[in-house]
Chains A and B, each alone.
Chain A
Amino acid sequence: MKKNHIRAAALAAFFCIMLPCPLLYAQLETSGFADSHYAFGTGDDQNLLSAESRLRSEIRLYSGDSSFFASVDGVYDSLAPSESGFTLKELYYEYMSEAFDLRIGRQIIIWGKADGLQITDIVSPKDYTGFVGQEYEDTRLPAEAVKLRILGALSTIETIWIPVYTSSLLPTDPLNPLTSEHPDSIAYQGSALPVSYDFTEKNLPKDFWDSEWAIRGSWYLPCMDLSLSLFHGWEDLPVQERSLTVDGSSGTVEVESRYYQIWMTGLDAAIPVKALVLRTEGALFVGRRFSAAEGFGQSLEKNQIMGLAGVDWIPGNGWSLTAQYMEDWVLDYEDAMDRDRRSSTGTVSISKDLLRETLTLSASLAMGMVYWDSAIELEAEWSLSDALSLRGGIQYYSDGEGGKGDYTAYDDLDCAWIGARCSF
């Protein structure tokens, strides 16, 4: 976190140098919102699970074809104070013309056609600290990047260079229910062995040669949208390789966070068919690392294929429906891996606008289709005025067969939540 503050300050200083006289900028636009939410457990834990308020301020300065954009989040998390504070969400300089555009600085880059599921969308890292009332965009973190797009009538070629590595954000505050626990003891030869932990970082990307780069070509045609992408960089999260050293009646678990590079090549498409839009996305990941079974030992390097097919349907009268199916396969699978060869996920989302589009009711289901673990969310959003809206919802998670499945980790986080947002 401290490292991020230093980086943000350096970025801000850089832009102050590049922006010698803000008064030269002909046009100024400001916007933003304040929002707040409270979540109460509805399962075994009926306490307050989340209580967060956020103020987002955005400012954009225009001068001809150039502009500067800054977005700052101020967050107060009363349950996990260490996750409170100010964050420079985005800060970039942008030049736009009809032939190309260039964006330099801290920015969020989102790829792909999937709705809330991540396949080719790996350029910007993720924020894993929240779980209540989040939109997909709230889970994205910025990357310090240079993005150049060559613009054609029906196509866009996008090249990205990321000289500074940014990791995804995992919850660390002990009061955050998503924070991983490090048990004081582990089962060892039939008894509970007390352990201490030794955390180290290995192979952290930090110099010029560790830069990430990506290229993506997109074509927007009357019959379909098609994109091809290629990414070479680092996994957004280090792989944790754990080893156990036993010394008499106690032990030490050494946790090495190792950073590994990957290649990703992907394709995504959207095809309109009357009232439907068919969506598909797929990616091949080369050199991806997977933890060893039981959580101890060296990680294993494998290739992975992910694919998705989905449909959007807008039948009218305020209804909209989306459905998706995603498959995820590890090639050359080994039993020593801490995951299955295959996982699959299905999602369905239905929403209905009422009262002249001032009230939106929605229901979403995401289900792991190997162990049948699931996440269900019912949500209502009511616009009291153009600026003020109230939101509320229920989130329910069910664990999978044998306690397995991605959504099983959320099984204790069933909750009801309320929130409000004021836009300005």
Chain B
Amino acid sequence: MHTRIAEKSLNPVLCLLVFLALFTLPVLSIGAQSLSGRDIMQMVDDRDDGDTSRNEMIMTLTSRRGNVRTREVLSYSKDYGEDEKTVMVFLTPSDVKGVGYLTWSYEENGKDDDTWLFMPALRKVRRISGSSRNDYFMGTDFTYDDMGDREVDEDEHKLIGEETVDGKRCWVVESTPKDPNYMYSKKISKVRQDISMIVQVDYFDRQGKLLKKLVVSQIEQIDGIWTARQMKMENLQDQHTTLLETRGVSYNQEVSDALFRVSTLEQGRIR
């Protein structure tokens, strides 16, 4: 009859924001004496992610029954002043191989992102609209909001303590949404003090029960930018886990403007 829109309405910029929000942070040396919870989360948000970036992301989804599914994604991004362009293409699995997204995102308030989807079977690009921020990304345990599409001031932040995680001192920050209808009642984040990087998050559902747990590991510096090579999100209620690994990461390398054109997306040769 007619073709169902097969896109899962994901926005590649949001995917990249995983790295912006959680994987990449500048090296900072901060006196903690007068910091509030909001200050800490603002520091997490104010990071240098490079003018360009390239990364390959492998998402391994494990169900309660032990069934494993894998998604592999290659993405590039480039800053254009305050705006950013991102292109993302699926490398695996075979049924979505070659599917690509191009997003031009704008800093200007009220200006919506431009997003195009390319599906090899359709042999043409399709303009798509943005997704719901509470939707899960490609069947993983990460929502778009989890991956960084959330403003600092959408939550009230409170510094509730300090503790040591893997030998590193961390601030513990409780974040409560201002919107009472938000999918989480609160989040508790542990932020490494030496590099202002989130290393653990506990997510609580609207009934106040622990819903998900995020653990960030294998943190290293790449091209001068701190990067997490592994993130594990576990849904404790569904017994479902997503392991997100990165490889081939680089920052501030030469990236051609042509990579962020619709015609390049149609060519299907982003690699």
Q: Is chain A's binding surface mostly helix, strand, loop or mixed? A: strand
Q: From residue 138 to 181 of chain A, which have CB atoms closer than 8 A to chain B?
A: 149, 151-154, 156
CB-CB contacts of B1-44 with A at 8 A, as 1s and 0s?
11111011100000000000000000000000000000000000
- Return the contact of B94 from the options A358, A377, A387 (Cβ within 8 A): A387
CA of A153 to CA of B262 in the docked complex: distance in angstroms?
8
The total number of A-B Cβ pairs within 8 Å is 152
Asked if residues B92 and A386 are in contact (CB atoms below 8 Å), the reply is yes
Min distance, Cβ B141 to any Cβ of chain A, angstroms: 9
CA of A135 to CA of B70 in the docked complex: distance in angstroms?
25
Asked if residues A156 and B104 are in contact (CB atoms below 8 Å), the reply is no
- Is B131 an interface position by the 8 A CB rule? yes
Asked if residues A357 and B5 are in contact (CB atoms below 8 Å), the reply is no
Asked if residues B261 and A153 are in contact (CB atoms below 8 Å), the reply is yes
Asked if residues A357 and B139 are in contact (CB atoms below 8 Å), the reply is yes
Asked if residues A115 and B70 are in contact (CB atoms below 8 Å), the reply is no
Asked if residues B69 and A385 are in contact (CB atoms below 8 Å), the reply is yes
- CB nearest neighbor in A for B113: A272
- Is B240 an interface position by the 8 A CB rule? yes
Asked if residues B139 and A356 are in contact (CB atoms below 8 Å), the reply is yes
- Return the contact of B114 from the options A33, A272, A276, A421 (Cβ within 8 A): A272
In the complex, what residues of A have CB within 8 A of residue B4's CB? 320, 349, 351, 360, 362, 364
CA of A357 to CA of B71 in the docked complex: distance in angstroms?
13
Min distance, Cβ A121 to any Cβ of chain B, angstroms: 9
- Return the contact of B121 from the options A135, A151, A375 (Cβ within 8 A): A135
**Among A192-200, A207-215, A295-303, A311-319, the stretch in contact with B:** A311-319
- Is B112 an interface position by the 8 A CB rule? yes
Asked if residues A156 and B263 are in contact (CB atoms below 8 Å), the reply is yes
In the complex, what residues of A have CB within 8 A of residue B115's CB? 272
CA of A27 to CA of B129 in the docked complex: distance in angstroms?
35
Min distance, Cβ A273 to any Cβ of chain B, angstroms: 8
- Is A201 an interface position by the 8 A CB rule? no
Asked if residues A387 and B104 are in contact (CB atoms below 8 Å), the reply is no
CB-CB contacts of B107-122 with A at 8 A, as 1s and 0s?
0000010111000011
Min distance, Cβ B150 to any Cβ of chain A, angstroms: 15
- Is B136 an interface position by the 8 A CB rule? yes
In the complex, what residues of A have CB within 8 A of residue B61's CB? 356
Asked if residues B135 and A389 are in contact (CB atoms below 8 Å), the reply is no
Asked if residues B116 and A386 are in contact (CB atoms below 8 Å), the reply is no
Asked if residues A312 and B128 are in contact (CB atoms below 8 Å), the reply is yes
CB-CB contacts of A93-122 with B at 8 A, as 1s and 0s?
000101001000000111110011100000
Min distance, Cβ B152 to any Cβ of chain A, angstroms: 23
- Is B181 an interface position by the 8 A CB rule? no
Asked if residues A389 and B95 are in contact (CB atoms below 8 Å), the reply is yes
CA of A117 to CA of B3 in the docked complex: distance in angstroms?
10
In the complex, what residues of B have CB within 8 A of residue A423's CB? 93-95
CA of A151 to CA of B7 in the docked complex: distance in angstroms?
25
- Is A220 an interface position by the 8 A CB rule? yes
Q: From residue 45 to 62 of chain B, which have CB atoms closer than 8 A to chain A?
A: 61
Min distance, Cβ A400 to any Cβ of chain B, angstroms: 17
Min distance, Cβ B58 to any Cβ of chain A, angstroms: 13
CA of A136 to CA of B112 in the docked complex: distance in angstroms?
30
In the complex, what residues of B have CB within 8 A of residue A151's CB? 258, 261, 263-264
Asked if residues B94 and A276 are in contact (CB atoms below 8 Å), the reply is no
Q: From residue 231 to 271 of chain B, which have CB atoms closer than 8 A to chain A?
A: 240, 256-258, 261-264, 266-267, 269
Min distance, Cβ A374 to any Cβ of chain B, angstroms: 11
Asked if residues A101 and B267 are in contact (CB atoms below 8 Å), the reply is yes
In the complex, what residues of A have CB within 8 A of residue B106's CB? 222
Min distance, Cβ A190 to any Cβ of chain B, angstroms: 42
- Is B161 an interface position by the 8 A CB rule? no
Known A-B contacts A225-B127, A386-B92, A424-B94; A137 and B3 likewise in contact (beta carbons under 8 Å): yes
CA of A377 to CA of B258 in the docked complex: distance in angstroms?
41
CA of A424 to CA of B61 in the docked complex: distance in angstroms?
19
Min distance, Cβ B4 to any Cβ of chain A, angstroms: 5
- Is B229 an interface position by the 8 A CB rule? no
CA of A313 to CA of B131 in the docked complex: distance in angstroms?
10
- Is A230 an interface position by the 8 A CB rule? no
- CB nearest neighbor in A for B240: A356
- Return the contact of A386 from the options B94, B123, B269 (Cβ within 8 A): B94
- Is A274 an interface position by the 8 A CB rule? yes
Asked if residues A387 and B93 are in contact (CB atoms below 8 Å), the reply is yes
Asked if residues A220 and B262 are in contact (CB atoms below 8 Å), the reply is yes
Asked if residues A272 and B112 are in contact (CB atoms below 8 Å), the reply is yes
Min distance, Cβ A357 to any Cβ of chain B, angstroms: 4
In the complex, what residues of B have CB within 8 A of residue A250's CB? none
- Is B97 an interface position by the 8 A CB rule? yes
CB-CB contacts of A211-238 with B at 8 A, as 1s and 0s?
0000000101010010000000000000
**Interface of A with B (CB < 8 Å)?**
31, 33, 67, 96, 98, 101, 108-112, 115-117, 135-137, 149, 151-154, 156, 218, 220, 222, 225, 270-277, 279, 312-318, 320, 322, 347, 349, 351, 353, 356-358, 360, 362, 364, 366, 375, 377, 383, 385-387, 389, 395, 421, 423-424
Closest 6 pairs between A and B when the two form their complex, measured CB to CB: A116-B2, A316-B132, A386-B93, A270-B127, A356-B139, A357-B139
**Interface of B with A (CB < 8 Å)?**
1-5, 7-9, 61, 63, 67, 69-70, 92-95, 97, 104, 106, 112, 114-116, 121-132, 134-136, 138-140, 240, 256-258, 261-264, 266-267, 269
8 A-B Cβ contacts within 8 A? A33-B94, A152-B263, A272-B127, A272-B129, A314-B131, A316-B9, A316-B134, A364-B2
